[in-house]
Amino acid sequence: MPSKSAKPRRPHLPEKASVRRVAIVAFPGVTLLDISGPAQVFAELQEIELPSASYSLSYLSTSGGLVQTDVGMMIDTAPISSVRPNQIDTLVIPGGPGIWELRKDPALMKWIGEALPKARRVASVCLGAFVLAWSGILDGKRAATHWRYCPRLADAFPSVRVEPNAIFVKDGRVWSSAGVSAGIDLALAMIEEDFGHTTALDIARRLVVFLKRPGGQSQFSTVLAAQASDVEGRFSALHAWIIENITGDLKVEALAAKAGMSPRTFARAYASRTGMTPASGVEALRVETARLLLESSDMSGVVEVARRAGFGDDERMRRAFMRHLGISPSEYRNRFAG
């Protein structure tokens, strides 16, 4: 019978035959979603009956104990001394505003430096790419980070080929992902690599996320980029009306009348607010409409999608897709159709 002073054991899931240890580093000021996003994806594998495979998650910090995240929530961690670098299958370095102080932690940086060459694969989420760059493991490799910090990473490390529009990048055994939620995409891709497309798709559906998100981190569409520019939302109602009338005659005169302006004033104001001409805005919304239709498994052919999205013909839609997404409608459907 255990003594009254004995500490209760933490509940844990039984280990399966082939357990891959995923070690996620934590530090004060780490972004919570950089950790919880990938962790939730990896943990979801436990809900699927795979008798021969599983992940074991470890959250590690320099001394162990509670670590405060960027939103004030605490993460309970084990000390880095509790896990030997050669015991790690996948090492994940998250980002966050505390990343710059992490570099001043010699014990943690030393441990990371020892773990990087020994882990089967290593990954960064968001600003965690800077830790990989500081270690030198990104030299000569392609990498992704938060779009706002891509220029900084490229300037500080000329030998790193920064891909500013990538959600995540895999270059050999080194993975890196874009900002915050992109860590979910990265983890799903790792599961697909480890256990196959069907398993990764099952987990994506459970989490209600894309298995392969369309577009890149430049907000995935010209429409969202326009919304970011139109900070006052002056044309939000107009965009909603365009979507409701996507197959109609959406020339500048019709849009201006809906906005209550003269065509000339409207065109100038729209371009100033969104960074697009009215014609480009309509085309972007049609691409968004077509994209959603192509993802639907009950939609028939590309020609029908072009008609329902207001393009008129599939060649016009193909040219618009290449301009906005860099991929043809047929290729898009093959990649992203449910």
Summarised one tens digit per residue, pLDDT across range 147-204 is 889 889 999 999 999 988 788 999 999 999 998 899 999 999 999 999 988 888 889 8
Is a pLDDT exceeding 80 seen at residue 221? no
Rounded mean pLDDT, 36-56: 84
pLDDT of 64 higher than 60: yes
Architecture per CATH, domain 19-207, reads as 3-Layer(aba) Sandwich (3.40)
pLDDT at 315: 95
Q: Nearest-CA neighbor of 142 among 121, 120, 157?
A: 157
Lowest mean pLDDT among 54-63, 127-136, 225-234: 225-234
* CA-based nearest residue to 107, from 173, 25, 21: 25
Q: pLDDT value at position 51? A: 60
Q: What is the pLDDT of residue 16?
A: 43
Residue 261, pLDDT above cutoff 50: yes
Cα radius of gyration rounded to whole Å, the chain: 24
Q: What is the pLDDT of residue 8?
A: 39
Task: State the Cα–Cα distance between residues 234 and 257, nearest whole angstrom.
Answer: 15
pLDDT of residue 61: 98
What class, spelled out in words, does domain 222-336 have in CATH? mainly alpha
Question: Among residues 23, 19, 5, 30, which one has the least CA distance to residue 101?
Answer: 30
276 vs 121, higher pLDDT: 121
Start and end residues for every CATH 1.10.10.60 domain found in the chain = 222-336
pLDDT for 3 beyond 90: no
Give ∠ CA 60-62-68 in degrees, rounded to 5: 70
Q: Please give the helix or strand (H or E) that residue 21 lies within, else none.
A: strand 19-25
Confidence at residue 232, expressed as pLDDT on a 0 to 100 scale: 57
Question: Which tops the pLDDT comparison, 49 or 145?
Answer: 145
Q: Would you say 284 and 222 are in contact if contact means Cβ atoms under 8 Å apart?
A: yes
β-strands 90-93, 19-25: how paired? parallel
Hey, what are 236's tokens? 């939000």
Task: Locate CATH 3.40.50.880 in the chain.
Answer: 19-207
Specify the higher pLDDT residue, 216 or 258. 258
